[in-house]
Amino acid sequence: MPTKRFFLRSLASALALTLGGAALHFSVLHAATTTAPSFPNKPVRIIVPVAAGGSADKLTRTLAERLSVLWGQSVVVENIAGASGTIGAAKVAKAAPDGYTLLQQGEGLTLNGILFRALPYDTNKSFTPIVKAVVSPQVLVVNPGTGLNTLADYLARAKAQPESISLALPGNGGIAHVAHEILAQETGAKVNYIPYPGGGPAAVDVIAGHANATLITLAAVTEYVRAGRLRALAVTTAYRSPALPQVPTVAEAAQLPGFSVESWQGYFAPVGTPQAVVQKINRDINLVLQSPEIRAQLEAQGFKVAGGTSADLAKSLQAEQPLYAHAIKTAGLALR
């Protein structure tokens, strides 16, 4: 289907350009000598709008621990799950614009703005971008007891026995949902989608056998795959992940040239937050991300460090909005 493949190639190109820009900006950011504001002088709260245990939670807790040391203040991670992340996002949108309440979000911020008819905030106007922290593949994993050993096995069963495979979704309408819908449209596979409040609960239920599979950010399940508790069938990016190099791409395993979906995770502040505070948070998160120990730790989990300026993240948001809108329309996902 040429239209979908054009979207996927365009998305990969747009994100590659964004990440390239982020890399160019980092050396300047790292060397900046701007006087930092007197921030923070009290605890900082980062709201993660999904349940604990998933990739977003793991990333944020890793950063929070290091930022606490750097700032000499507690950095508290608060999980507020529900409504595909919109409840947590709404809480940040209504918070004081002073840098003490931050939001962890990724492409879900854009997707929710497309999928929901009404939101308790304005996706384009309620938040100030701070930094795109990491990018990551999505990975399709199954319970080893399913007998599904390859993506070809998975697709064959999903076509021969429609909806016989239960797929735990880490959020309804998220990047995993969109990616799987594109895969389904390309191959004719039909599964039974079961929404979960986040990647952690979804992975746990697949391990326990309550669901057969999940499509999830790779960093959320690398340890489970290495331990043999989950079987990885394919990653959604055009490249294999160094964290699990034996796992093929969807493009390889399903013979779908051009298939590529890459997710990302970053941080936002309420609109109106002073630019000096935004710049300080951006600079310090970049410092943490670029430390050899943290970079190695995140890459071992399956993340790829991005970094860059707040302007880089703003450009990325602008680039992905029309592309995801096209993908959602093509996949037939209904507005809620």
Structural domain total, the chain: 2
Same domain, 13 and 124: yes
User: Of 232, 253, 274, which closes a domain?
Assistant: 253
pLDDT > 90: what percent of the chain?
78
Query: What is the mean predicted confidence (pLDDT) over 321-329?
Result: 86
Same domain, 241 and 313: no
**333 exposed, middle or buried (CB, 10 Å; 0-12, 13-18, 19+)?**
middle
- 315 pLDDT more than 90: yes
CATH number of the domain that residue 247 is part of? 3.40.190.10
User: Of 198, 232, 253, which closes a domain?
Assistant: 253
Would you place residue 304 in the very low, low, confident or very high pLDDT band (cuts 50, 70, 90)? Answer: very high
Calpha distance 70→201 (Å, rounded): 31
- Which of helix, strand or coil describes residue 184? helix
CATH number of the domain that residue 16 is part of? 3.40.190.150
Same domain, 12 and 129: yes
The model's pLDDT over 66-123, given as tens digits with 9 standing for 90+, comes to 999 999 999 999 999 998 899 999 999 999 999 999 999 999 999 999 999 899 999 9
- 23 pLDDT more than 80: no
Across the chain, mean pLDDT equals: 89
* Contact partners, residue 98, CB within 8 Å, separation at least 6: 273, 274, 277
The model's pLDDT over 137-164, given as tens digits with 9 standing for 90+, comes to 999 999 999 999 999 999 999 999 999 9
- 29 pLDDT more than 50: no
Q: What is the pLDDT of residue 331?
A: 74
pLDDT > 70: what percent of the chain?
88
Same domain, 127 and 271: yes
Domain ranges, residue 190: 137-253
Q: What is the pLDDT of residue 37?
A: 53
Residue 259 lies in a domain: no
HEC readout, 163-181: CCCEEEECCCCCHHHHHHH
Query: What is the mean predicted confidence (pLDDT) over 282-300?
Result: 96
Find residue 268's DSSP bridge partners. 103, 129
268 vs 178, more confident: 268
Same domain, 269 and 308: yes
Describe the crossing of helices 2-31 and 275-289 by its angle, rounded to 10 degrees. Answer: 100
- 10 pLDDT more than 80: no
Quickly count: other Cβ atoms within 10 Å of residue 145's Cβ: 9
